[in-house]
Structure formats: structure tokens, C-alpha cells
Structure 1
Amino acid sequence: MNEERYILFDQYLQSEMTAAEKTDFEKQLAEDPEFASEFETFKTVQLQLENKFGFEAEREAFKENLTQISEKHFNKNKPKVVLMRPWYYAVAASIIILFGLFFFDYNQNPSFNDYNHPGQAHFTERSTTNVHLLQAEKAFNTRKFKDAIPFFEVALKEAKTPEIQYYYGVSLLETSEYKKAETVFNELKTTSPVYKDKSLWNLALIKLKQKDYKGCKQILQTISQDYEDYDEVQELLDALD
């Protein structure tokens, strides 16, 4: 769980979103199973806190103490002394065990969201006549990946280029259509030298999103060190060791 999602979930539950933000949030819940799963976990933790404390002030105090525990145990460069009442320790321990250090974003395995960077599509500079491609670009860049998919599919029938294939594959990955995404990237890695390593990286992300860490590592090891984002490849490999 990253901090941005924690804030987003809290804003939704506290009714602090605008109507448009709420609509986008609920759309993502419906389209992204992993996002929905993390939200359900977050709600469970919130309920646990409410059952334990009942009052907002104590809830906030508990969260602050959890943060201090995190800094004490996981940031060795900044040791701190944390003073807590004994019953706080018991509750903190139970929450940590049950929910895997939810508030700390502390996990022994890397998270898909930490390495997921869909980027921006830019087709309009080279093509202003393909209406479906323009619609695909707009949907993709506003992170409406499910909406982008049918536009990409029509655009590919009109002009099948590696670039369109690539962003189509990314859209499939973002909406967890793993089999289709794998088909796209497997074809692309063998037919387009320019997109070979990018395709391998996304194939690795497909495995990572499904928590297939062994499969992810195996694919990462096939990516050339000449790949422009190889630093991130190495970072993920290190995280998987």
C-alpha cells in the first residue's frame, strides 16, 4: 500500500472527494481488482481501529504511534524513543500481524504499483485523421484504460503499428486482462526490436501484478542492460532477491 492510495481511500471514506473524483474512484474500483482488494483491506483496518478506539482523536493518536514504531524499527539511521501505553502495544502488535504492516508500506515483496509507470501516449503529432486513435490517446492519458481498449482495437485494424500495439498492451495490463496483454507483448518482443525490452519489462510487470515473483524475475533477467530504464530493472531484481 503506498501513501497516495492511503490518502485517496481515506478521502473517499470521509466523503472529502468532489463528485467527479468520487466517480473516477468508483470506476477504478470496478475496473481494477487489485485496487479494489487494497481498498477492502484498508476498510478492514479502519473498522478495526474504530472498534478498538471509537473516538477520532484516539484513532489519530494510534496512527501516529504506529508511524513512530515504523520509524524506530525500519529507519535505523534515525533512532527514536517511542512512549506508548501498554494496551497500545497490544493493539499495535495485533494490527501489524493481521494486516502486514499496512500503514508502513512495509512488505518483503515488491509492489506492482511501485514499478507501474504507464506513461503518456502521443499519437496526435503524427496522425490527426485517425479518429479512433485520437480517442484512444485521450482515454489512455486520462487513465481511462478500459475505455481506451476498444478504440485501440479499431485503430489497430486500420493501421497496425508497434507503437499502437504497445499502448494497447499497457491498457490491457492496467485492466488486468493478463492473457491478452501477454499475447500483445510476446508478439511485439519478437517483431519490433525497438519495443523488445519494453515488452519484456511489461511481461515482467504482468507477473509482478499477479504476485508471481519467480516468473517476474525470470523475465527481468532476459532484459538487455542496454535498455534505457535498466536501472529500474536492476532495482526490481534486487527487491526480488
Structure 2
Amino acid sequence: MSEQLERIEKYLSGQMESAEKLDFENELQRDPKLKSAFDQFKVIHDALEVEVEDNLRNQLIELASRNKPLNQRRNWRLPYALALAASVLILLVAGTWWYLGKSLNDPALYAANEYVEYTRTNLRAEEPNRSYSDVFDFLNRQDSAAAIARLQQRINASPDDTEARFLLADLLYRSGKWQEAGALFLQITQGKSVLWGEKAAWNYLVLAQQNIWNQDAEDILKSILSNTNHSYHPKALKLEKIRQ
């Protein structure tokens, strides 16, 4: 949940790159719960901007009219803006608590909120010399199909490129091709990479929980639960508790 809130804030503040922004907008269309949370945060974000603007304007008016009677309009405008912002804040808090409550009790929603995305800041201790700038060039041009095709070419040429497989699975997931993404994540869990294998194992559970829970998912969940050193052991414990 915290990761989704950070993404909403990043989007509203205009700090997302074009490819990430497009992916987030597509996800908003696919996930009505995320869209609902986004709409509520946007309301408070816009309301606070109005409040700040009004405060600055009122301060300028006060400075300009220091030796004149205070403008009556200013006397009621600030309290009105503050009351409006407070009302919106109450609605936002109530909505956020509802959304958090849903995520804590709905396995599919909890899993969706905890999906592990590929980012350029991922550790590359196992494959430090590989670069995916060509793939990101396509993504920056909002050409996901070309990026996916390029990754498939790279994997065919270098079957041991586990990071490319994870990135491809992530792009397929974002494109709505969950079955193909799940198959790739499952392949990665059966490979030698611990770093990407753990991420892929958790993401396979995420996809299975949102679609059809199967024996592979059951085996992966049991494996993670039995390994306290697994990076996603705490999340697996929470998922198991919600599923009961």
C-alpha cells in the first residue's frame, strides 16, 4: 500500500517519467480500487494547493493594505478555505481507512498492492555489465510493443539473462498479459538467480491470487513460508493470514 501511495504522490507532483506515467495511467484504468484512492488523494492535493494559494494571496493583500482597513472579503475567505480543506481531509482520511481496510482483508487487493515492479535502481550484483538502455529508449517513446520485442530478442540470444526475463515479465504484466507474465515469473523461480528468483516467486503469487490460485502458487507460498531468510517471507506470512 505504501508503494502505491508513493506512486500517487509522485504522479500528482509531476515527477514521473513519461514511460512510468503511461504505465501508471494504464494501471489506473485496470484497477478501480487504485483509481478510487487516486481520485481521493487528488481532491486533497488540489484542495491544499488552493489553500496555499489563498494564504499567499491574503498575505500579499495584507502587506499592500497595511495602512488601510482590512478587506472584508479576506476576513471570510481564509476561514472558508480552511473549512473546505478540513472537510476534504476528513473525507480523504475516511476513504483511505476504507481502502486500507479492504487491502488488509482482501487477498487479491493486498497482493496487487504489493506487486514488485522492475525499476532501473534494482540491484545488479549478479549481472553488472548488462545494459537495457535500448529497451528504455522504446519505453520513453511509449512503444511498449517494441520494448517487449527487443527483450524477447535479447533472451533468445542470451538465455541466461535473468534480469531481461524479469523486465519482460513486468512489461507483459503492465500490458495486461498476465498469463504470459506468470509463465515467465515461474521460469525465473526455477533458475539459479536468488535475487530475481525471490522477486519472481512473490510476483507469481501476486498474479495467482488475482486470477487462479494453482498448485505452483501453493508450492511457492509454502517454500517462502518455510524460509525465514527469503526476502518476501514477511509478505507471504501476511498473505497466508489473509487467505485463511
**How would you bin the TM-score normalised by the shorter chain?**
0.5 to 0.7
CA drift at 1:24: 5.2
Q: How does 1:16-35 map to 2 (within 5 A)?
A: 17=14, 25-26=21-22, 28-30=24-26, 33-34=29-30
Q: What residue identity is the alignment partner of 2:153?
A: V
Q: How far apart in 2 are the matches of 1:145 and 1:31?
A: 16
Q: Partners of 1:215 and 1:145 in 2: how far apart?
A: 35
Check the 8 A contact 1:139/1:145 in 2, yes or no. yes
Conserved? CA contact 2:148–2:168, under 8 Å: yes
Counterpart among 34, 37, 42 of residue 38 in structure 1: 34
- The C-alpha deviation readout for 1:16-47, integer Å capped at 9, x for no partner, is 647x7678535531366435763366448979
List gaps (5 residues or longer) in structure 2: 44-79
**2:28 and 2:35 in contact (8 A); partners too:** no
Q: Taking structure 1 as reference, are residues 216 and 17 closer, same or farther at Cα in structure 2, changes over 3 Å only?
A: farther
Match of 2:5 in 1: 3
The answer on whether the counterparts of 1:121 and 1:167 sit within 8 Å (CA) in structure 2 is no
3-state SS of the aligned residue for 2:169? Answer: helix
CA apart distance, 1:155: 0.6
For 2:18 and 2:128, the matched residues in 1 are separated by: 32
1:220 is matched with 221
Offset at residue 204 of structure 1 (A):
0.4
Write the distance in 1 (CA, Å) between the matches of 2:206 and 2:143: 16
Relative to the length of structure 1, the TM-score reads: 0.55
Aligned-pair identity in percent equals 13
What letter corresponds to residue 65 of structure 1 in structure 2? I
Task: Give the direction of change, closer, same or farther, for the CA distance of 1:200–1:22 in structure 2 (3 Å limit).
Answer: closer
Aligned length: 191
Aligned mates of 1:145, 1:228 — CA distance in 2: 35
Q: Distance in 2 between matches of 1:21 and 1:100?
A: 29
* Corresponding position of 2:160: 161
2:205–2:221 CA contact under 8 A, matched in 1: yes
Q: Which residues of 2 match residues 101-180 of structure 1 at below 5 A?
A: 101-102=98-99, 105-107=100-102, 108-109=105-106, 110-119=110-119, 120=122, 122=124, 125-127=128-130, 133-136=132-135, 146=144, 148-163=147-162, 164-180=164-180
Letter in 2 for 1:106: G
Which letter maps to 2:173?
A: L
Query: Aligned-pair distance for 1:156?
Result: 1.0
The structure whose RCO (Cα within 8 Å, separation 6+) is larger is 2
2:48 maps to which residue? Answer: none
For 1:240 and 1:203, how far apart are their aligned partners in 2?
A: 16
What displacement does 1:186 show?
Answer: 2.8
Superposed displacement of residue 183, structure 1: 1.9
Q: Distance in 1 between matches of 2:92 and 2:34?
A: 19
**1:73 aligned residue:** none
Cα RMSD (Å) of the superposition? Answer: 4.5
Task: Name stretches of at least 5 consecutive residues in structure 1 with no aligned partner.
Answer: 48-54, 71-95
The Cα shift of 1:149 comes to 2.2
Tell me which residue corresponds to 1:202. Answer: 203
Aligned residue for 1:221, secondary structure, equals helix
